[in-house]
Amino acid sequence: MTDTVNDLRSAGGGGSASCCAPKTSCCSTPASKWSWTRFPGRRVLLSTWTIVLGGPLLVLLLDQPQFVPFVSFAIKAFLGTLPYIAFAVALIAWLKAAGAEAYVARAFEGRETQAIVLAALFGGLAPFCSCEVIPFIAGLLAVGAPLSAIMAFWLSSPLIDPPTLLITAGALGWSFAIGKAVFAVALGLFGGFLVAILLRTGALPNPVKIGSSASGCGCGASPQTGRPVWQFWRETERTAKFGSELRVNALFLVKWLALAYVLEAALVTYVPADLIAGVVGGNGLGAIVISALVGMPAYLNSYVAPPLLAGLVDQGMSSGAAMAFMIAGAVSSIPAMAAVWSLVKPQVFATYLGLGFVGAVLSGLIFQLVV
């Protein structure tokens, strides 16, 4: 009997036994509060693939006439990047299976300044948009290239390339085209050297996200020679490593670039380019800052932006505001942000956005003073 009373008291939280009489509510189990963190489908709903697949489905349900153009745009953009993805994935897998990542990283030791300069210059020649450059950035991170040089390439590459230079010159004149090319390289150098300083001061510890294609290690160099085993297929362990890296990195890059192009399709379909550009008209410092702010999330690729901005310049938009808008949009559009977020830690992501914004504003100001 004593045990029974004690059991009843324990069940009642120390209250009397009579509290738990039948048909009383004082000892009923309180209903647990609903919590989003305990929702069983939370991880699925917040996954990247949910957005990739859910975006087109929403368009199909809510705006059926735009479904085919929406999906076609995203697929064509993704297929255009597919060769770069395939090359980057195969290269990463090969280097890791061969044990070359540490070997390649040592090639940059003591040559960081040279690497930053070359990355900024090469970025100005490489014909990559802000999303197409992601596979190559993932590859550079995977082999241990310094983040400073990677940032230099990351910032300068989407801004200018030979075809874009000619299109910009045709629409806005050679002074604008040459100015954009100069600012592209200058922004790459500025960002690269700034990141180098931040790394030395410890402001950007462990910049690469764990689990991204840039993390992990390979099989290591040959224990006999200390050099990479380039013919990895002769060893079972290295062959298995190649296949594993191929699958992991392919899934990683395909997932995030698919998200980037679905977001780009949404912007192109529902936010007309001329509407975006029309918001940034005006003169003075305020117009330049607003142009950079609006240009950052917007998406106007380097082939569409020059003709539209040329029309706005004819209508009174300042050349500085046009330059700021073009640079901000190329470096840090929403598709580019999604891809960058997948690779690096938040502090590096914030640095990337800050460099894009500051670089766009400074470029606009300098261009407006000089021209």
Q: How high is the pLDDT of residue 192? A: 92
pLDDT at 81 over 70: yes
Which of these, 213, 209, 217, lies nearest to 251 by C-alpha position? Answer: 213
This model's pTM is above 0.75? no
Please state at what angle helix 284-295 crosses helix 346-370, rounded to 10 degrees: 140
For residues 173 and 6, the model is more confident at 173
For the residues 257-270, what does the mean pLDDT come to? Answer: 78
Return the top range by mean pLDDT from 47-51, 191-195, 264-268: 191-195
Which of these, 333, 350, 326, lies nearest to 130 by C-alpha position? Answer: 333
Q: How high is the pLDDT of residue 365? A: 93
Which of these, 244, 245, 236, lies nearest to 213 by C-alpha position? Answer: 245
State the Cα–Cα distance between residues 230 and 75, nearest whole angstrom.
35
Q: How high is the pLDDT of residue 25? A: 47
Please state at what angle helix 112-125 crosses helix 174-200, rounded to 10 degrees: 150
User: With b meaning 16 or more CB within 10 Å and e meaning fewer, what string describes 42-63?
Assistant: eeeeeeeeebbeebbeebeeee
Q: Which two tokens stand for residue 288?
A: 């330049």
Return the top range by mean pLDDT from 106-115, 273-282, 285-294, 333-342: 285-294
State the Cα–Cα distance between residues 234 and 176, nearest whole angstrom.
54
State the Cα–Cα distance between residues 321 and 363, nearest whole angstrom.
9
CB 124 within 8 A of CB 159: yes
